[in-house]
Structure 1
Amino acid sequence: MKLKRNVLAVALASGLCMAFGVQVAAAQTTTQQTGTNTTGTSTTSTTSANQTSGSPKSQQQLAKSLSTVTVTGFNGSVEKSIDYQRYADTIQNVVTAADIGGLPDQSIADSLTHLPGVSAERIAGQASQINIRGLSGDFILTTLDGREQPSTTGTNYTAFDQYPSELINMATVYKSSQASLIEGGVAGTIAMETANPLENTKDQTLNVDARGSWDGQANDVPRADPLGYRLSVAYQGKFLDNTLGVGVGFAQMYQPHVAEQFVGEASDGGLYQLNKNSPQQAYLPEGVQVQQNGGEERRTGYLGTVAWKPTDELQLTADTFFSKFDNSSYGYGMRSQNYYQNNTQVTDPVFSSLGTVIGGTVTSNSPAQGGQFSNETTLDNYTTDTTIFSGGLNLKWNHGNWHVESDLSLSHASSNEINVDATADPYTGLGTSNPQLMSQSANFLLAGRSIGNFSVANPGLYTNLNDMGLSRYGVYPYIYHDKDKAFRTSVQYDLPNNPVFSAIEAGVYANNHGYEADRSVYVYGSEWNTSPSTTNPEPPLTIPAADAQVTCWKGKFSGFPCFLTLNGPAILASHGIVANPVKNITDQSWSEIQSGSVDERTRDLFLMGDIDSQLFDHELTGNVGVRVSRQSQYAYGLQQVGNGEGILIVDGNGNSSTDYAPLKMGKTYTDYLPSLNLAYHLTDNDQVRFSASKVLSRPPINTMLAGAGSWVSDGQYNVWGGTSPLLQPLRATAFDTDYEHYFDDSTGAVTAGVFFKKVDSFVQNVTYNNFDFASIGITVPTNPATGKPYANGEYQTSYNAKGGDVRGLEASVTKTHFLPGIWSGLGFDANLALTNSNVHNPTNLAGPTTYIGLPGLSRRVASAAVFYDNGIFSARLSANYRSSFLSNTQIAVTNQLATFASETVYDFQASYNITKQISIVYQMLNLSNQPTRTYFGGSPQQTGTIQYFGRTSYLGFDLKL
């Protein structure tokens, strides 16, 4: 979409220094030169390509207000943000170029967490997935320069750490919707923007930012490198009498991946006899784990923009964005596993308040009793290479009352993740034809949200190469491709003399979205050597001394048993084995079933009127409109039909099968989505907002795969898969109301508001009995015994479960220049969001059934910052708090749904201008070394993960020419 009035574009160009990328300088409305900007955040109106802003009267007031701002640096940017807030049509929050470049942020995700009601999930210690108003990333639409962004996560949510903050000029969080916004954000829309070089305040600018980093946790992890760096270079130039603009940017980050973790694994909800000498039964966890994590992360981003404005009415822009993020992580330690399912004898048990065992002594059951318990040595590797490309051509034409914008784009994301899960165990008869797992024991005690205890009876056993053998080596690649081809255009006509509407706007949007998932697998051996066969024994492998190193613990984790750090590929190579993951149609058929593709096609129309009227002698602004969204979704995969009734498939090992048939399933639907946004101006400094809309988010793309496995029992055909292309979108009705008060001279604002969302459904897994497979196009194979199709049996799939309400309150306050003299540069901002929901789902991961809420919902989210800026020296201390929330990013053998405990993360930044061109910057992230802490269900005693990442310090310089 386009700007409502050209005056807003003029105001933006003259009022803001739209610098490109790195540490953008504040608008030079005075001769004072500032250093590194650490601009504040506020609810504002932006120049986003997919929104329309304020009435003509409001824009004139905005332009006038901006022209009077003479303060540079942090305070000046805060005050500009406060001015923009008054004239927004929607309820939204924004971070500007100076916010992003100046805050101590590793990615755009960190910058967004300073906004009210916005929080982040820390993955590997770094903000990644964003939650808005208690809803997870699957309910958020993300755009870059108005273009939908594909995902590197294999689902709908965006990994925002993929986007270098140095290359993003502005990011807006839309919390209320309007007809001109691309549909897809029940929680909200995050619109990122890159800079337009024609809006740069100077003809030529070159910015260089270089910072070295040091990770304080690296000293506790052997072979971990504590050093890292960030480097970015950005250039903007205007040529041909300011009609041609060129901008290029480069940003690279290298940092160590360092962590130590204590893991308590989940229960399966079953009751088991504790030991053979007692009939007592109890809930048991799967086990515990201690692990050291190391590795490195390298992110490289590129940006290029060419803007041509041959006349005052026409502008053509071509731009590209590319980001590559390589993450290589290893994990070494011990996993004491299989406490439950009668694999162990448990003595001296310690119980949680729910009756689940959280401590005791566990010993092996005899092999005759089916015992498969061991204190395993783990050697894990998680290597992920992700890329995002987003580019397109944009046209804007303004002629009198007519305004036209068209955009043609291509965006592509790919993710290549390789998960290596390998274990070693102690054996008798290692190297012989009949090795046997040794009997073992362990003591453990969970300590809730603190590091627990773990010890073994014979610690020397696990560092003795004569007894330790590599039991299993599994390689599991996950490859995803996500592509969007889109076109949008809008036409706006101004109505300067209309008493109600200032403009009308209409547009179309078309997007072809393709998604591909490709799975493969390689497995040598079996855990605890449980499944050798005469044709393929694959026994435990002896470990050469050169491929093992004894490793012990330091710091908070000192006292845990020492273990062997093993070189898995080298151990395989010493035995003439090379891991070669491929699709496997025989004993790992899930690799074929979970591979497939989804084709989504969106065709939207919208019509919107911009309101600028008078009601009871007060100005009323906003918009009203409707968006019509038509969506088709079809998935392609393989269905296991059995009995040779499928097509011939040959896998990567050369094995063949005719038990699988191609499957295509899907549906088409249309939604009518009205929206209303109103701002009633009570006084020059006070206004009330109201918005109402129907919104939707597409089902998570990975839940719409069509592949399905099957089994036959008691004459019934049963299907498993856990996904469904027949899912409905996640529809919701949303209401918002806000009150806003502004202090004189734009020196501050106080806002408060409430919101309510009625979400119709959430995607969950379900098992149907006696399901009519023919009704959804699944073929039931023939029973050879009867010559007729099998009877309908179980269907394990995804479905639209009953939804619920999400409601809350948000408040924020910002104030600058409240002290005289040299302290006039002191300011602060703070915000608080309270969110609740009536959605409660059962879980047995903590043992007995407890109830949990919505993933991503924290009842309390808050942030605060105190800042000082006098033009030469600036400093900022900030804190982000969120209460406990649910997520499926529990770090264990597999992802598990766990509750993340409340946390507060503190960051600090200071800068000093040596000259007008050079400044020195110091930052420290995570001042208090806040760990990530999780637990299962409603029991904080049932430890999930306690993970420490350490503090990260940066020291560097900014050069502006």
Structure 2
Amino acid sequence: NAGTSDTGNRISLAYIDQFMDGKLGVALGYAHMESPYQSNRYEAWGYPTVGSNSFNVPANTFVIGGVKPYALSGNITRDGYMGVIEFQPSETLTLSLDGYYSKFNDEQILRGIELPLWWSGAQLQPPPSAVVTNGIITAGQFNGVKGIIRNDVRAREAELAALAGKVEWQFSPKDSVVFDLSWSKGDRTDTDIESYSGTGRGSAGATDNLAFATAEAGRLVFRPTLNYGDYNTISLTDPGGWGQAGYYKAPGTVDELNTLKIAAKHEFSGDKAIKSVDYGIGYSDRSKEKTVNEWFLDLAGGANSVAIPTSARVGQTNLSWLGLGNVVSYDPRGFLGTIYSLRANTAADVAIKSWTVEETILTAFAKFNVDTEVGGVPLTGDFGVQVVNTDQSSTARGRSNSTATLVSKTEGTEYTQILPSMNLAFALDNDAKVRVALARTLSRPRMDQMNAAFSYSYDSSIVPNRGTRWFQNSGNPLLEPILAQAVDVSYEKYFGRRAYFAVAGFYKNLESWIVDNVERPFDATGLVVPTGAPASPTNIGIASSPGNVKGGFIRGLEFTASFPFDQFVPALEGFGANFSATYNDSSIKPIAGQPATKVPGLSEKIFNTSVYYERYGFQARLSNRYRSDFTGSVVAFGANLETRSIQAESVLDGQIGYTFQSGPLNNLSVLFQVNNMTDEPFTTLINDDERLVKDYQEYGRTFLVGVNYKF
């Protein structure tokens, strides 16, 4: 992007020392990072279907509805400070205090052209201009396209502070206790400025005759007839006729956590299989508050358009990777309150984005540690149980009916879960180990899934396609955790002190899983039908919220290996390789009566490979990580999470370095590193259909040069 930098820096300092004959230890640290990043992003609005009745192509042919491509330039700045003080006045007492503070800023510049196509007044030219391949129009031309040039700025400022104190006391030869108290707080503010420009407001101004064709990975490239980089043609306006010249959002979150843990240990006397027991309680209190404010941006004085101020111009951004050429580029941050007047968005769907969630957790635990022999085979491990009580609640606003009337709502639930576990390791006599683990596990819902906000909507179409016109969307403060019964078995073989391989299998029976959109009926009696809308055939509506579903599994196999080559060929000293492979299979049943689906975020195949050379202070490493297609959540319109099919990727990284081992530069290290050497793209699909590319992102390579000195 014009006006942005592609270089950054990283600095870290650490000081560690001891005093009072080793009884007092101090560690201080500081780290600074300024890291730029860049990506070219293509996002499709969606793909409606056209057919012979409305257009001269086969029925149910997909066509692009619109696109929002842009170039993103970002810069992350972070400063982190840490300090630790540890005092051991006697062999039986240790006191420690540690603190951490971080200030984070992420600023993004996004410039591009939003192109309304089929879902607009633009006209797709019929065949032979429109080319149909495999059921989708892959090339053609839209006439009358009214592009919306976007110069957006997103910023995130966050502060994180944490403080923890610990007391370790050995109050008898076989008994000890640890008191651990901690506090942390994160405060984050986001700002998002959308600034629109174009040839004129609404239908006014020149339009584009825009040819398009399909490029690699299914994304489109274009050939425009307009020059979007001409400041004499492009001005600040409302080119899409959306009733606004821009938009401004400023959501913020405050997340605070307090924890207390008291853990004791007792060691048993004599030659017993159970050597010791760990037991105690833990308490945590977490609250998260989200506040959202949004405004429409209007041109001051009711102007239809305003020339882009010369002082705000930063040249042009090149979108040739899309075929669109140059686009006008400017910084809109100085326009708020001057060129732009702010009009608050008081719609109920904005008001209900604010919420508070509180969660307290009380845990009691006991773990017995084992060290014995079974049939002459050494056996170590542990078994135990946790009892976890959770009390959660949320307060938020919601629409009490189909109008904008808002009411406050507080709702929550309490539950207790018992979580037994066992971990055993059998040491075989040939430098091998067999490990077996059994456990019932718990994973709590995300805080945003538990919010109490809710709203109603009414389908006023002539024939409602769901049998009712009433719908409700909400969070779910009654949501319970993901629960699983897990079995893990592994075999490990060691060759000397450095080489090994391991094979592991795992199976997780999902007692409960969380799905974002579980539908259930609700009674809409008493809700107000919008004025002029037809009556609903029934007062039973459809409610959608995150919910728990039962039934499913996650299973798989893992293989890992690490081999220094000189272990087998002495002449190859310094060379080596690390490798891991994972195969996953999964199934959940999100909605009764519908087919099972895969667990989101889980690839079927994952490979990590690294080859290296380390000798005489020199080191070189080449690493590759591969994961196959998977279903994942991405940030969509309105900052909501949306489930999409994410394509496989293979990322290659490399680094070389040297550490001086003598002379005046002794202990000085230099490093050169390249991340994503092959510029692997990120691609998502709609409905796992390779024809329907939703996102295509090229985020480029990152080069790092580093120097480190120890003294």
Whole-angstrom distance in 2 between the partners of 1:558 and 1:593 = 38
Residue pair 1:818, 1:827 contacting (<8 A) in 2 also: no
Question: In structure 1, what residue type is equivalent to 2:40?
Answer: E
CA contact (8 A) 1:884 1:901 kept: yes
- Which residue of structure 2 lines up, in the alignment, with residue 459 of structure 1? 226
Q: Which residue of 2 aligns with 1:183?
A: none
Establish whether residue 828 from structure 1 lines up as the match of residue 608 from structure 2: no
Task: Name 2:487's counterpart in structure 1.
Answer: 735
Q: 1:283 aligned to 38, 62, 72, which one?
A: 62
Unaligned 5+ residue runs, structure 1? Answer: 1-220, 365-372, 527-535, 645-656, 775-779, 843-848
Show the counterpart of 1:112.
none
Give the unaligned 5+ runs of structure 2: 239-244, 461-467, 532-537
Aligned to 2:425, which of 658, 672, 679? 679
Is residue 617 of structure 2 the alignment partner of residue 872 of structure 1?
yes
Distance 1:859 1:346, change over 3 A: farther
Change (3 A) 1:802 1:363: farther
Q: Distance in 1 between matches of 2:402 and 2:608?
A: 61
Deviation at 1:809, TM superposition (A): 0.7
Query: Which position in structure 2 is the counterpart of 1:811?
Result: 559
Q: Deviation digits for residues 6-54 of structure 1, max 9, x if unmatched?
A: xxxxxxxxxxxxxxxxxxxxxxxxxxxxxxxxxxxxxxxxxxxxxxxxx
Answer yes or no: is the 8 Å Cα contact 1:274–1:347 preserved in 2.
no
What is the letter of the counterpart of residue 720 of structure 1? Q
Distance in 2 separating the partners of 1:802 and 1:343: 47
Contact 2:208–2:226 (Cα < 8 Å) also in 1: no
The one-letter code matched in structure 1 to 2:555 is R
For the residue of structure 1 that corresponds to 2:689, the secondary structure is coil
| Contact 1:225–1:256 (8 Å) recurs in 2 | yes
User: 1:313: which partner in 2?
Assistant: 92
After superposition, where does 1:135-534 map in structure 2 within 5 Å?
221-267=1-47, 275=54, 280-340=59-119, 344-345=123-124, 347-348=126-127, 349-351=130-132, 353=134, 355-364=135-144, 374-398=146-170, 399-427=172-200, 436=204, 439-447=207-215, 449=217, 452-456=220-224, 458-460=225-227, 463=230, 465-466=232-233, 468-471=235-238, 472-525=245-298
CA distance in structure 1 between the partners assigned to 2:459 and 2:673 by the alignment: 62
Question: Residue by residue, what CA displacement relative to the aligned partner does 1:568-589 show, whole Å, maximum 9, x if unpaired?
Answer: 34556664x3447x6x53xx22
Q: Relative contact order (alpha carbons < 8 A, sep ≥ 6): 1 or 2 greater?
A: 1
> Offset of 1:395 from its aligned partner?
1.4
Q: Look up the match of 1:690.
A: 436
User: Where do residues 846-861 of structure 1 align in structure 2 (5 Å cutoff)?
Assistant: 853-861=598-606
- Distance, in Å, in 2 between the alignment partners of 1:604 and 1:495 is 24
Q: In 2, distance between residues paired with 1:328 and 1:515?
A: 24
* Between structures 1 and 2, the one with greater helix share: 1
Structure 1 window deviating more from structure 2 (401-410 vs 931-940): it is 931-940
Q: 2:329 — aligned with what?
A: 565
Moved more, 755-764 or 939-948: 939-948
Distance 1:308 1:271 in 2: 74
2:518 and 2:590 in contact (8 A); partners too? no
C-alpha distance 412-340 of structure 1, shift in aligned 2 (>3 A)? same
With normalisation by structure 2, the TM-score equals 0.87
Query: 1:333 corresponds to which letter in structure 2?
Result: G
The letter of the residue matching 1:394 is K
Corresponding position of 1:625: 384
The answer to whether residue 707 in structure 2 is matched with residue 957 in structure 1 is: yes
> TM-score, normalised to structure 1's length?
0.65
C-alpha distance in 1 between matches for 2:590 and 2:63: 21
* Cα distance change on mapping 1:279 and 1:516 into 2, 3 Å: same
CA displacement at 1:939 relative to structure 2: 1.8
The alignment partner of 2:478 has SS state of coil
1:122-137 correspondence runs (5 A): none
Task: Go from structure 1 to structure 2 and tell me whether the alpha carbon gap of 1:641 and 1:898 turns closer, same or farther (over 3 Å shift).
Answer: closer
Give deviations 1:386-439, integer Å, cap 9, x for gaps: 232222111112342212112111011222112223332333xx6xxx963655
Report the 3-state secondary structure (helix = DSSP H, G, I; strand = E; otherwise coil) of the residue aligned with 1:854. coil
Structure 1 stretch displaced more, 467-476 or 732-741? 467-476
The match for 1:701 is 447
Query: Quick check: 1:930 aligned with 2:676?
Result: no
Distance in 1 between the 2:288 and 2:98 partners? Answer: 24
Following superposition, the deviation at residue 237 of structure 1 comes to 0.6
3-state SS of paired residue (1:557):
helix
Aligned-pair CA distance for 1:665: 0.7
- Give 1:625 deviation, angstroms: 1.0
Whole-angstrom distance in 2 between the partners of 1:337 and 1:850: 35
1:569-620, Cα deviation, whole Å (9 max, x unpaired): 4556664x3447x6x53xx222221101011110111111112222121112
Deviation larger for 624-633 or 809-818: 809-818
Call closer, same or farther: CA 1:486–1:363 in 2, change over 3 Å: same
- CA shift, 1:451, in A, is 5.3
Q: Is the 8 A contact 1:395 1:406 kept in 2?
A: yes
Judged with a 3 Å threshold, the aligned counterparts in structure 2 of structure 1 residues 766 and 436 are, in CA distance, closer, same or farther, namely farther
Q: Which moved more, 1:669-678 or 1:756-765?
A: 756-765
**Which residue of structure 2 lines up, in the alignment, with residue 654 of structure 1?**
none
Describe the superposition over 1:852-890 as per-residue Cα deviations: whole angstroms up to 9, x where unpaired: 633211111121222222242222222222222222226
Structure with greater proportional strand content:
2
Q: Is the 8 A contact 1:638 1:708 kept in 2?
A: yes
| C-alpha contact 1:377 1:462 (8 A) present in aligned 2 | no
Give CA deviations for 1:794-831 in whole Å, capped at 9, x if unaligned: 42322223452111111111122326667422222111
| Alpha-carbon distance in structure 2 between the residues aligned to 1:721 and 1:489 | 42
CA, structure 1 residues 781+812, in 2 after alignment: closer, same or farther (shift >3 Å)? same
Instruction: Say whether 1:764 aligns with 2:516.
Output: yes
Task: Give the partner amino acid of 2:100.
Answer: F
Q: Per the alignment, do residues 954 and 712 of structure 1 end up closer, same or farther by CA in structure 2, a change over 3 Å counting?
A: closer
| Identity rate, percent | 21
SS in structure 2 of the partner of residue 449 of structure 1: helix
For residue 308 of structure 2, what is the aligned residue in structure 1? 544
Alignment partners' CA distance in 2, 1:713 and 1:877 = 56
Residues 573 and 485 (structure 1), Cα distance of their counterparts in 2 relative to 1, 3 Å cut? closer
- Quote how far apart the aligned CAs of 1:953 are: 2.0
Cα distance in 2 for partners of 1:933, 1:750 equals: 34
- How far the C-alpha of 1:379 sits from its partner, in A, is 1.6
CA 1:319–1:243: 2 relative to 1, 3 Å? same
Amino acid of the structure 1 residue aligned with 2:516: Q
Report the counterpart of residue 68 of structure 1 in structure 2. Answer: none
Residues 539-618 of structure 1: matches in 2 within 5 Å? 540-544=304-308, 546=310, 547-548=312-313, 551=316, 553=318, 557=321, 559-570=323-334, 575=339, 577-579=340-342, 584-585=345-346, 588-618=347-377
Whole-angstrom distance in 2 between the partners of 1:677 and 1:761? 24
Are the aligned partners of 2:117 and 2:142 in contact in 1 as well (CA < 8 Å)?
no
For residue 394 of structure 2, what is the aligned residue in structure 1? Answer: 635
Over 3 Å counting, the alpha-carbon distance change for 1:784 and 1:856 in structure 2 is closer
The Cα of 1:668 is off from its aligned counterpart by 0.6
One-letter amino acid matched to 1:940 = E
Q: Matched residue of 2:448: which SS?
A: helix
- Give 1:514's aligned amino acid: S
Q: Report SS of the residue matched to 1:225.
A: coil
Query: 2:73 corresponds to which letter in structure 1?
Result: G
Distance apart, 1:490 and its partner CA: 1.1
**Alpha-carbon shift at residue 730 of structure 1 (Å):** 1.1
Shift of 1:705: 0.8
Distance in 2 between residues matched to 1:853 and 1:343, nearest whole Å: 39
State the alpha-carbon separation in 2 of the partners of residues 230 and 345 from structure 1. 51
